[in-house]
Chains A and B, each alone.
Chain A
């Protein structure tokens, strides 16, 4: 599929050609027997269908020549995807910065993830029609602006890879932040994100940031059973039953993180993986290496200055040096204004104010957080905290 997309430069044409090939297969194989190389047969048939279509459309002499020259894969193995390089090109094309971020995610899930348009829509709480529109517009932009199907050149690779990793992490986070009620769809997103990141790492085994992203996802994912309680309520890291954490995933994640961190200087995903590794290696919340985590967040802030990272650092500093130190940083963020609309800043401040025995201010901060929070599981958590203040 990826190969055909590259040669034809048109997602829809490639998809239709492959579908037609499958229809023919369904008709012929029961009658004639399954060919020794079914993948190759599909590609060859799809290619021929596409050639016919293009001939009818009277287009692109060059494209026809290229398609015709496409060597049918050897009769050797049952290799369903003899052109792995094309998947890599597809990753970079789907996640091109010239496409809107939502479009990148949708396109990646649709073409590399193999999700249906309806499934992608459900995952992002968008109607199928709206998602279809988004995909159509993105494909049109690729064609009309001539976004090339290439793995970017060395000098462009860091920036372009960041875009791919960001899209994959976005998919993971959509699944990770699921509410208990629509758990099934969202869990599939985490699995899909993991699968695609593994695929990317296989294709780019020397990229430490890709390895680090997989590590990060696995380390987050290992805690999935402990993050909500039987009632579907959110359980903070501090209160999680660590025996529910998945040891195999932790082991794999730690190994990957260690390998990624051999490369200096560490990139943003490597730093985040290092932070996750610290959390997961601690026997208890209190025993966690907070000063080390605070330092890692400081490095992350340098690599990726963002108010959210600054907030996370403030939380770590509060654990390492005491609530006053953390509150000072958070008040600074509030004054700077970027995060005023971010519910987690207010709930984090509220938590510290509570610890400093300032319940009225804590209550005010929780209320502000409630005004802003959307996720029902988070809202329920904040409500309980507010009630617990008794202020």
Chain B
């Protein structure tokens, strides 16, 4: 099952990295990505540029659009990247999340919606059977 791991960290702390810390961090990310690929779970993943580069589009009910500077939410920790992993179950995904080389940060682990799979059909069919 696919899980999206979204990575949140304090950008100010990250920006304050000295060159050696930067290099170490890059190495750690590289190694992590390689491990996910080697394990056959890697479907995708990218680092994002800082939230200062973000633009948010609000889509109104009316169909109007509202474009503004900045990320979706102004929070202390900002979205900094993601991994899309194909894992057997939540424990597997959590194990990968714990290995993310981001001390002081947080990783949200969420299953990806499965439209064509059995889950949706099961819900409908079970509701049917109960009626």
Binding site for B on A (CB under 8 A): 13, 53, 56-60, 96, 98, 143-148, 150, 152, 156
Contacts and interface: CB of A to CB of B under 8 A. Distances in A.
Interface stretch (B27-35, B43-51, B118-126): B118-126
A158 to B, nearest CB: 14
A156 B121 contact: no
A147 B121 contact: no
A20 to B, nearest CB: 12
B128 to A, nearest CB: 8
Interface of B: 1, 88-91, 94, 110-111, 118-119, 121-122, 125-126, 128-129
Contacts of A58: 121, 125
A59 B89 contact: no
A59 B118 contact: yes
Nearest to A56: B129
A53 B130 CA distance: 10
12 contacts: A13-B126, A56-B128, A59-B121, A60-B118, A60-B122, A143-B119, A145-B110, A146-B1, A146-B111, A147-B91, A148-B88, A148-B90
A265 to B, nearest CB: 24
Contacts of B122: 57, 59-60
A116 B89 CA distance: 30
A152 B122 CA distance: 28
A144 B1 CA distance: 10
Given A60-B118, A144-B119, A145-B111, A150 B91 contact: yes
Given A53-B126, A148-B90, 18 more contacts: A56-B125, A57-B122, A57-B125, A58-B121, A58-B125, A59-B118, A60-B122, A98-B94, A143-B119, A144-B119, A145-B90, A145-B110, A146-B89, A146-B111, A148-B88, A148-B91, A152-B91, A156-B91
Contact of B90 (A56, A60, A98, A156): A98
Contacts of A144: 111, 119
A56 B122 CA distance: 10
Nearest to A144: B111
Contacts of A60: 118, 122
Contacts of A156: 91
A57 B126 contact: yes
- The prevalent SS among residues of B at the interface is helix
B91, B110, B111, B128: most-surrounded residue (chain A CB, <10 A): B91
Contact of A148 (B89, B118, B119, B126): B89
A179 to B, nearest CB: 39
A138 to B, nearest CB: 13
A53, A57, A58, A150: most-surrounded residue (chain B CB, <10 A): A57
A241 B122 CA distance: 60
A152 B126 CA distance: 30
A148 B92 CA distance: 9
A100 B118 CA distance: 27
Contacts of A147: 89-91
A162 to B, nearest CB: 16
Contacts of A59: 118, 121-122, 125
A53, A96, A146, A150: most-surrounded residue (chain B CB, <10 A): A146
Nearest to A140: B123
Contacts of B110: 145
A53 B129 contact: yes
Nearest to A147: B90
Contacts of B111: 144-146
Contacts of B89: 146-148
B89 to A, nearest CB: 4
A98 B128 CA distance: 30
A57 B129 contact: yes
Contacts of A152: 91
A57 B121 contact: yes
Nearest to B130: A16
A148 B91 CA distance: 7
A59 B128 CA distance: 13
A282 to B, nearest CB: 44
B119 to A, nearest CB: 7
A152 B92 CA distance: 11
Closest 10 CB pairs of A and B: A57-B125, A148-B89, A146-B89, A59-B118, A147-B90, A145-B90, A59-B122, A56-B129, A145-B111, A146-B90
Nearest to A97: B94
Contacts of A57: 121-122, 125-126, 128-129
A53 B127 CA distance: 11
B111 to A, nearest CB: 5
A116 B61 CA distance: 44
A96 B90 CA distance: 10
A150 B94 CA distance: 14
Contacts of A56: 125, 128-129
Contacts of A145: 90, 110-111
